[in-house]
Amino acid sequence: MDAVTLWNRYQDWLYYHEGLGLFLDISRVNFDDYFVEQMRPKFEKAFQAMAALEAGAIANPDENRMVGHYWLRNPDIAPSPEIRQAITSTLEHIKAFARDVHAGTIKPPLAERFTDILSIGIGGSALGPQFVAEALAPVHPPLHIHFIDNTDPAGIDRVLAELGDRLYSTLVINISKSGGTPEPRNGMLEVKRAYEQKGLQFANYAIAITTEGSKLDQLAKSEGWLAVFPMFDWVGGRTSEMSAVGLLPAALQGIDIDALLVGAKDMDEATRVPDLRRNPAALLALCWYFTGNGRGEKDMVVLPYKDSLLLFSRYLQQLVMESLGKEKDLDGNIVHQGIAVYGNKGTTDQHAYVQQLRDGVPNFFLTFIEVLEDRQGESIEVEPGVTSGDYLSGLMQGTRQALFEKQRPSITVTIPQVNPRTVGALIALYDRAVGFYASLVNINAYHQPGVEAGKKAAAEILDLQRKVVSVLREAGQPLSLADLADKVGAPTQIEVIYKVVRHLSANDRGVTIIGNLGQPATLAIAATR
């Protein structure tokens, strides 16, 4: 394509949202008009499905749930007055709570004010808040946020050690939809214990965000925690940033949550337009479909050229992969759909792996996120007439160009600056693009049937572990792995048992292993207490 044709293509397909100052450039994805025409009926269907979803259809039949994260940004479109009321009253509660914490009206017993937040949650309960904190929290926020987003004991210890005596003024947000997910439950128990070891009553520091009536809800209420905020069953974890899960920590950090909501609402409106060319989310979905042949044949590499957006790719990794990575389509055919997502930030990633992107296996398309504002305030010149920000911008353009020369397609999203409104808009843009793409490839974006198998297997392994310990204690003598497996009634599970005892032994948990660990069949296992 010569330069003039390309410039015309650029202008022809350029999407611009004046209110948000947001651009979407898809000129470097090589679809042609014939492809677009072919896709029109699929988009008609996608627009209709989205309208039905927004009107309250049961879009997650596995859990018999509506899918209503769009209502959070605009309660007026919620399908019932009760839902509308629940959204607005929760928002008011969040703002009042944050105000009272900032004012010191809600305060810890032994300090003037809360200074820190410890957020305990995983998956959708962590990625949104982490992304938004990194993107938008001021350098000196009213409360500093910390995260426990795993069940790693050393990781938990590290966060607690970093907090140190600030635990006295730390507000703990416990996030769990069901209250039964092990990771946040474990984190909560470990943190509660840390408070108790300091002689502090956890209830005076703890709040919960959970479904009404859940185990966590019951615990919080029975122990008299500071507050409980609701999670709605019609909001999925990966789209929960605009619910209490995301808004409460944001408000506590002094982030303008109204602007976040407005940005998302503006984008929701823009992506409701049932016209491919005027709908940025539809254009994104079109490009994803084209590059990957509607089968996820290309990975999505996301490179924001702005440090504060570093976690956007990790946020999208969940949103896209958990939504689109499905075995079956809506008709029950085995399709193994999905799009793999990765990326950190530019220009940094140029120095890490643009070598492969330009020269190596062409199994990806790129999404550049460009931010027009370099910084607040003036810049020095690092060369005559050139600033650090010009380099950032020039290296982005240069990379896009160098990749396109080698037939590596790219999409560019441009925002004027990183602020609550544009971040809200980015979240909403991708929410919707994922919804459209799912419709194009005929899958359900709103369930996650594949995650249960690993959890179930883990529960069985933990059961086996209890039996192993009990058998070893009763045995009173060392056993081979094969004997041990027989005695716990799991003769085919020798490998699992080997790993369980290896782990227990490494942690002085009452199990010892005699022999060469590299030769499992020769080992003898015994209880040590």
For the annotated catalytic residues, the residue numbers are 322, 351, 455
Q: How far is the CB of 9 from a second copy (least distance, A)?
A: 10
DSSP annotation of 442: T
Give CA–CA dist 314/319, Å, rounded: 9
The DSSP bridge partners found for residue 412 are: 25, 368
Q: Which residue has the tokens 């408070």?
A: 195
Q: Please say which residue, 81 or 140, places its beta carbon nearer to a second copy.
A: 140
Is-contact 69 239, C-beta < 8 A? yes
What is the Cα–Cα distance from 300 to 467, expressed in whole angstroms?
Answer: 45
Q: Which CB sits closer to a second copy, 104 or 398?
A: 398
- Cβ proximity to a second copy, 43 vs 498, nearer residue: 498
DSSP 144-157: EEEEE-S--HHHHH
In the chain, the amino acid numbered 317 is: Q
Cβ-based nearer residue to a second copy, 36 or 395 = 395
Distance CA 393, CA 346 (A): 10
One-letter amino acid at 165 equals D
Q: Which amino acid is at 158?
A: R
Around Cβ 157, how many Cβ atoms within 10 Å?
A: 12
Give the residue from 163, 187, 66, 175 showing the smallest Cα distance to 114: 163
User: By C-beta, is 187 or 435 nearer to a second copy?
Assistant: 187
Cβ proximity to a second copy: between 99 and 278 the closer is: 278
Q: Is residue 177 within 8 Å of residue 211, measured between CB atoms?
A: yes
Check: CB of residue 326 under 8 Å from CB of residue 391: no
Beta-sheet pairing, 364-371 with 341-342: unpaired
- Secondary structure element (H or E) that encloses residue 240, with its range: none
Token pair, residue 327, equals: 């075995």
64 or 453: CB nearest a second copy: 453
Q: How far apart are CA 176 and CA 426, in angstroms?
A: 25
CA distance linking residue 33 with residue 123, whole number of Å: 39
Closest CA to 318 of 214, 259, 236: 236
Nearer to a second copy, 94 or 429 (CB): 429
Q: Taking the complex as a whole, how short is the minimal distance between the CB of residue 300 and a second copy, in angstroms?
A: 11
Q: For 140, how many CA atoms within 13 A lie in the half-sphere containing its CB? A: 0
* Cis previous bond, 522, omega within 30: no
Instruction: Give how far the C-alpha of residue 503 lies from the chain's centroid of Cα atoms, to the nearest Å.
Output: 30
Smallest distance, a second copy to C-beta of residue 71, A: 24
CB 127 within 8 A of CB 322: no
Comparing CB distances to a second copy, the nearer of 19 and 224 is: 19
Closer residue to a second copy in complex, CB, 121/424: 121
d(Cα 177, Cα 186) in Å, to the nearest integer?
Answer: 15
Residue 220, phi-psi category: left (phi > 0), alpha (psi -120 to 50), beta (remainder): alpha
- Lateral strand order in the sheet of 299-304: 15-17, 22-28, 410-415, 364-371, 299-304, 341-342
Helix (H, G, I), strand (E, B) or coil at 451: helix
What's CA 474's distance to the chain center, in Å?
45
